[in-house]
Amino acid sequence: MKYAYPAIFTPAAEGGYDVKVPDLPGCRTCGDDLADAIFMAEDAISMWLWAAENKNEVIPAATVLQSVEAPRFINYVYADTDAYRKKNDARAVKKTLSIPSWLNTMAEEAGVNFSQILQEALKARLGVQ
């Protein structure tokens, strides 16, 4: 899923930015500079939403923040949980499959890594990397 949430960026006294996402309870991060803070906010929002999706929790709607006191500012941050999941959820899942005995024998004799072959074939079939 694709989302966009307003985040409040607050310049930190020691440099960089603190970032808070009011619509997502507890979703906070920081960055060494503005680019890093935006990157970290995208990661934090994606992680928060990914966890909520995995638990089948209700995803809060993004609100419209009108203004904050300077030097703070509001910036919308984009999050794509499908891309985040693909990048971060590398848990192995056991699958049971059936192949002809003769093919199994030949593959074992050739030292074939069944798991690797299946992954490569699935990625090719689905057009993913």
Q: Per residue in 28-76, pLDDT tens?
A: 999 999 999 999 999 999 999 999 999 999 999 999 988 999 999 999 9
pLDDT at 76: 97
- Return the bridge partners of 102, or none: none
Of residues 121, 82, 57, the one with CA closest to residue 3 = 82
Of residues 9, 26, 116, 14, the one with CA closest to residue 71 = 9
| Per-residue pLDDT band at 13 (split at 50, 70, 90) | very high
Strand order in the sheet with 2-11: 28-31, 17-20, 2-11, 73-80
| Per-residue pLDDT band at 92 (split at 50, 70, 90) | confident
In the chain, what are the domain boundaries?
Answer: 2-88, 92-129
Of residues 53, 47, 46, 38, the one with CA closest to residue 7 = 38
| Per-residue pLDDT band at 14 (split at 50, 70, 90) | very high
0.85 exceeded by pTM: no
125 in the Ramachandran plot: left (φ > 0), alpha (ψ -120 to 50) or beta?
A: alpha
CATH code assigned to 2-88 = 3.30.160.250
Measure the CA–CA gap between 116 and 114, rounded to whole angstroms: 6
pLDDT at 99: 95
